[in-house]
Structure 1
Amino acid sequence: MPHLETKRLRGRGAVVALGVSVLLTAVALPAQAKVLAKVNGVEISDDDVKTALDDLGSGLPRQLEGKARENYVLDFLIDEQLVVQKAQRDKLGESPDFAKKLAYLRDKALMESLLGKIAKDAVTEDAIKKTYDEAAKNQKPETEVHAHHILVPTEDEAKAALKRVKGGEDFGKVADEVSKDPGARGGDLGWFTKDRMVPEFAEAAYKLEPGQISDPVKTQFGWHVIKLDEKRPKVFPPLDQVREQVSRYVAQKAQSDLIVQLREGAKIERTEAPAEEKPAEKKPEEKKPAEKKK
């Protein structure tokens, strides 16, 4: 099992693993560190596991939690140390190329440490609330609708479906039987704004009043029968629902602001002019008639 786990986690490359391990083994363990394993006499502590968890966190299997997660990383560190010791015996750490890579890793670790501190300091409750309030204030008034639809290939099929629902059959039942939109169970599209749908569909849906059913509507996807359920002003999500996204934005903005500030105060000289990039050809955004609001 450990060798398989090493394969899963070596995405950062063997060089990174070797470089980090050399740095770890070169530093004396703090007095309070608890030794969890020894590999040919080299100690691996709970502090090492914590450092590795911070580094590898996003690459670990999601189903692992608590002690199982720590044991998984400890096995990785044991395998890593075995590989490191072999690399040291082969004197791979003495080459000029390795020294360059180690210097790069040191710079990268310093950068990540500073940016991490900047992000941590920036994400305060006041900053989160201020950012959220500004976003809520700047949201333009907009109407969103909740609708169902039936999507079929031909106009005749759309007319047949329309006849069934106007004859009293349940719209959702008919949709489940004939609609070609697999993403809308019972034809339910959820809540959406006008810009989320292709123009022909959006125009037809927004002309309806709650409870009304449209005549067949043609779009690039086929023929639709639309039933409008409700209309309402678009509701800005509560802070608790978007706290994670707001926190991420605050952190990233603080980091970006620092980079801009450092660039403005630095003397940066390029020995070669950057290559001119050709503007990418902008493709029209393809909208789906049954795209659910997430």
Structure 2
Amino acid sequence: MKWHFPTLLRIAVTAFVLTAGASCLGGTKVLAQDALRIAAIVNDDIISVRDLDARVRMVITVSNLPRNAQTFQRIWPQVLRSLIDEKLKLQEAKRLSIDVSSDELERAKRAMEQRNKMAPGSFDRSLRSQGIQSETVLDQMRADIAWVKLVRRRFQSTVEVTTDEIDDALNRLERNRGEPQFRIREIVLDSNDPSVNDEEVAERLVNQLRSGAEFDAIAREFSQGATAATGGDIGWTTREQLGDEVGAAVDDLQPGEISDPIKTIFGYQIIQLEERRILSAPNPAKAKVTLKQVFVPVPPSSSPEAEASQKSIATAVSETAQNCEDMDLLAAELNSPAGTDLGTLEIGELSAQLREAVIDLKVGELSEPVRLPSGFSTIMVCAREEPESDLPGRDEIANQLRAIKFETFAQRYLRDIRRDAFIDTRV
């Protein structure tokens, strides 16, 4: 079974199990006497070689990386950095008395069952079937939930999305109607550490990604951008929003392809293009309308004078009716041979003459008399449901902007915590 990880709950799940005090991956072996060695000290906590080994194996498993000693050697420095950051998050949550209740853990377990299409209540049993201790997974859940609660509590009063910001986002989308729109994922590398060559790390990751590694898993583990928690997914965006360097790279990509490392003011970025589409206006023919008519017949043998007389009656209807109830009354007075209710349907389903007559009508408005083969029909729109726009709604945009702000504050917060911490790496 393949596990899919929730946005804010990156769970350390691996099918590799340390047995008899030793584990092995492509010739790399962690013996019992080595497993308890210290990989890093983070303030008052330690990360053991066993911890590091297990996490590397998890990353290799969920990221679909090559399972060999070379991969292990290449990724362990970045994995250790992730473990250190997790320790710092847990310590900060503890310092500020952030607790995770049993109900919150249960909800997280149920959410994971739903996401992975597991039977309700099968969480513990499913983990045991893979040789995984459920408490290990719950520890990771507890840490991630605590960090989310901490960030929300700390920045709740700071993160605000204004009406102007929503309007600006909608206006940008409107300006770009008819232009390409891109769904992309990103990995941002900006270590702020002169001893780390971000360009070299980016090139290695690109090679692994092009060899089949899972982009979202790599982004969650290695990206230092605000979108890391969502697997690097920045959603739909436009050329204008991407900037010159990234925009130029995306122009040359086909869906599914990975860019070369891109040097930007934020560090190095790696981009995967998932989809490309044209942002278009809603199709007015998809609007649903509820229609009523008053039909005035014109017999086939009628003279031009008689036809003109019937048309004048239809015109009088269009000048008299004020609402849909009036349409029923007028049809009854005229003994109209056709029913008044035309039903509810899409404008595109109407005949060409009726479609042209009602496509621009608002609710309560009447058409001019429409000449049909057997007479004249005057039509009123009683209800109208516009087609869904491919633009996101205001609430969706507000949620997107709010999430980006929270993630940005969270990254800065973690950077400050890391700067003030005592960290001693020993491997």
TM value normalised by structure 2: 0.24
Structure with greater Cα Rg: 2
Q: Normalising by the residue count of structure 1, what TM-score does the alignment of the two structures yield?
A: 0.34
Name whichever structure is richer in helix by fraction.
1
